[in-house]
Amino acid sequence: MPELPEVETTIRGLNILINKKVIKIITNTKKLRYNIPSNISYKFKDQKIISTERIAKYILINFFNNLTLIIHLGMSGRLKVTKSSYVENKHDHVIILFGNGYKLIFNDPRKFGFIDIAATLELNQKKYISSLGVDALSIKFNTKYMYTKIKNSAVPIKQILLNQYIVSGIGNIYACEILYDAKISPLIQGKDLNINQIRLIIKSAKKILKKAISYGGSSIKDYRSSDGTLGNFQSNFKVYGKEGQKVSKFEIIKIVQYGRATFYCPGLQKEQNSN
């Protein structure tokens, strides 16, 4: 699934479409995870994009008519921007044509993504946005905030980082990398983390996510940026997908938590609280 760095990379690739006018919208399917709004063409035809932005893993394309096109990439979705000759793929579900020849294509083989429309000033009325925790790159994601959220939690910290209602944008790959960077076990429960450990996790989260963005995200299976290039942060993974390899003399192992693979190095990521 595209995580925060991949979504941020996608957003930056969409900026080439700012001030471009929509000429036509083609929908090749009625439903992804949810129904595609039937009035999507009516709402955006002849409208120009004014800006693009990200909230957590949601892509927001804002138009001059004060409407926003909301896109979630789901498990395998991607947005493609092209100005060259274009051969339609069977998984190209929505195609937006612009007056100067650009095309924006939403491709999603597994159809777990979705598209929605909202008034730009009323985005927070969408429950899937209003219920989100603070963004992982926000200044609001700080030690005080995190401590109040997890001080009584019996949930392992790895699962807490994946909880979009607490902190939004972090997925499975980056949670593993963040905890390795902080040298904290994914098994420690929230209530057992001290203030210094929480501070280290937040510092590592912002460090890893920013570095991943600078590398264009991680291309593990399906992800490519909007211009078709592959991300390269996977070459910087320290533990994810490295089961059996060693860091110094310590082995990286793979376990399953809440149905998700966790990669970590027990020799370096201790389970005890280091008060």
Band (pLDDT 50/70/90 cuts) for residue 67 is very high
Nearby residues of 65 by Cβ (< 8 Å), 6 or more positions away: 43, 44, 47
pLDDT at 135 over 90: yes
Does some domain include residue 275? no
As a whole-number percent, the residues of the chain with pLDDT over 90 amount to 77
State whether 91 and 189 are in the same domain. no
177 is catalytic: no
Q: Could you tell me if 106 and 206 lie in one domain?
A: no
Structural domain harbouring 39:
4-130
The pLDDT value given to residue 215: 81
Residue 119 belongs to a domain: yes
Q: Which of 3, 6, 8, 177 is catalytic?
A: 3
Residue 100 located in a structural domain: yes
> What is the DSSP secondary-structure string of 167-235?
EES--HHHHHHHHHHHT--TTSBGGG--HHHHHHHHHHHHHHHHHHHHTT---SSS---TTSPPP-GGG
* 21 assigned to some structural domain: yes
Considering the domain architecture, whether residues 90 and 140 belong to the same structural domain is answered as no
Q: Is 260 a catalytic residue?
A: yes
2 is catalytic: yes
Is 183 in the active site?
no
Domain boundary among 115, 130, 145: 130
List 54, 57, 78, 158, catalytic entry: 57
For residue 70, list its beta bridge partners: 60, 116
Segment 213-242, tens digit of pLDDT: 988 766 445 544 455 554 556 678 999 999
The dihedral through the CA atoms of 26, 31, 36, 37 has a sign that is positive
Domain boundary among 100, 130, 160: 130
**Confidence band (pLDDT; 50, 70, 90) for 86?**
confident
Given the residues 21, 238, 260, 266, the one annotated as active site: 260
Same domain, 249 and 154: yes
For residue range 170-203, list pLDDT tens digits in order: 999 999 999 999 999 999 999 999 999 999 999 9
Write down the pTM of the prediction: 0.90
Among candidate residues 2, 5, 156, 186, the one labeled active-site is 2
Q: Are residues 105 and 150 in the same domain?
A: no
CATH number at residue 43: 3.20.190.10
Q: Are residues 260 and 220 in the same domain?
A: yes
Q: What is the pLDDT of residue 75?
A: 85
Residue 274 lies in a domain: no
Residue 153 and residue 80 share a domain:
no
Question: How many structural domains comprise the chain?
Answer: 2
Confidence (pLDDT) at 43: 97
